[in-house]
Amino acid sequence: MAEWIGKERRARRCYGFDEIALVPGNITCDTEGVDSSWNFSGKKFNIPIIAAAMDGVVDVTFAVEMSRLGGIAVLNLDGVQTRYDKPNEILAEIAEAKPKEATNLIQKVYTAPIKENLISKRVSEIKAKGGFACVSCIPKNAERFASLAEEAGVDAFVVQSTVTTRAHMSSKYKPLDLSKFCRERNIPVMIGNCVTYDVTLDLLETGCSGLLIGVGPGAACTTRGVLGIGVPQVTATVDAATARDFYYQKTGRYVPIITDGGMRTGGDVCKAFACGADAVMIGSSLARAKEAPGKGFHWGMATSHSNLPRGTRVEVGISGTLEQILFGPAVVDDGSQNLMGALATSMGCLGVSSIKEMHFVEIIIAPSIQTEGKIFQVVQRVGMGK
């Protein structure tokens, strides 16, 4: 699979969503009969979409609405929701900042200390309104924050960093023992992020209930530019899915993988499932919802890093309600609304009736899939030409 890139050095060719297409099957089926639900730790969710733990996407109100619609939204315990009693004032300040000032402002805002009482408060607020409470933090804070969140009745916990491995070396602090952490929790734990077969297999051994796949593909993430690391999402998802299936055959325990980032349209979401994802995590597309706290702005989780930001603030605009983005009716022509309708229609055209059946559809390498016959759209900057 590898190609020569120089004398005695080879590199593997990897693929992103824009480079592949899904091939219709030998049969088609009624979109009304397809089942696009997924299971996370024994609980069924009708929407296989998770809202990313980013401050411009998820707050208490958004998490409750996402739950009502049948999905999961992850609240960031390292963000403004736990640093400020009135986070909406800070979010408004970030949204109103000029582009050149945004990163410095975000760095300043995130220097405020985390108030541990707000961890319990935010979880309790979600639960009181009938929402599924899922929260996230970096490994450094995981043990303390998880205990507080569990006491408040949290439903699931995410341990997330730019790159996560089971073995982390440090001479300055004691790394989080992921296996011990998962074993001691009374709630399902999701871990992220990784992009390779070997690391996926290793992380599955921790006893986690889900794995996030993706390094650097997000709309507001600059990790690939700043650090030069990452694997395109098609290849990353396929490799991780292969590891998941091998682990299942070996142990009988099926752990879902979640493709995290890099999806702009319904077509991208469909391709992620075809590559083996059980669910997807989305940030920028959901940041465009009226309910999103960023009010049309979206920024990366590592934008606030004091020495080396690996994210930026981007203006995504507001395109409609969360329900409209997920279920339509779509009023835009670029595939960013009615994501669930797009998934159901794609499944019908592919002749599959479940997410697991999506894993076996034919995928082709098709670099012209975005441009073939689309000259008028490109020239007029509409539809797929935007």
- For the stretch 348-357, pLDDT in tens is 999 999 999 9
Would the pLDDT of 186 be above 80?
yes
Would the pLDDT of 133 be above 70?
yes
Q: Is residue 7 part of a domain?
A: no
Q: Is residue 45 part of a domain?
A: yes
Per the CB < 8 A criterion, the answer to whether 303 and 62 are in contact is: no
CATH, residue 172: 3.20.20.70
Please tell me the least confidently modeled range out of 97-106, 184-193, 376-385: 376-385
Tell me what the pLDDT averaged over the chain comes to. Answer: 92
Per the CB < 8 A criterion, the answer to whether 343 and 268 are in contact is: no
Residue that has been written with the tokens 């030998």 in this structure: 26
Would the pLDDT of 170 be above 90?
no
Would the pLDDT of 376 be above 70?
no
Average pLDDT over residues 2-25: 94
Residue 110's domain comprises 20-385
What residues does 213 pair with on adjacent strands?
Answer: 194, 259
Pick from 281, 279, 280, 276: nearest CA to 361: 276
- For the stretch 287-328, pLDDT in tens is 999 999 999 999 877 667 777 777 788 899 999 999 999 999
Q: CB-based contacts of 337: which residues, under 8 Å, 6+ apart? A: 319, 320, 324, 325, 328, 329, 330, 331
Query: Rg for the chain (alpha carbons), in Å?
Result: 20
Burial class (CB in 10 A: 0-12, 13-18, 19+), 2: exposed
| Residue 174: per-residue pLDDT | 79
CA distance 87 to 82: 8
Q: How many domains does the chain have?
A: 1
CA distance 260 to 230: 12
Looking at this protein, which amino acid is placed at residue 159? Answer: V
- For the stretch 66-108, pLDDT in tens is 999 999 999 999 999 999 999 999 999 999 999 888 888 888 9
| Residue 182: per-residue pLDDT | 96
Q: Is residue 75 part of a domain?
A: yes
Higher per-residue pLDDT: 383 or 250: 250
Helix (H, G, I), strand (E, B) or coil at 155: coil
Q: What is the largest CA-CA distance in the chain?
A: 62
Cα torsion angle, 221, 227, 233, 239, sign:
negative
Tell how strand 210-213 and strand 257-260 pair up.
Answer: parallel
- For the stretch 330-370, pLDDT in tens is 888 788 899 999 999 999 999 999 999 999 999 999 988 88
- For the stretch 204-261, pLDDT in tens is 999 999 999 999 888 888 888 888 999 999 999 999 999 999 999 999 999 999 999 9
306: its two tokens: 């004091």
Q: Is residue 337 part of a domain?
A: yes
Please tell me the least confidently modeled range out of 104-113, 127-136, 283-292: 104-113
Would the pLDDT of 286 be above 70?
yes
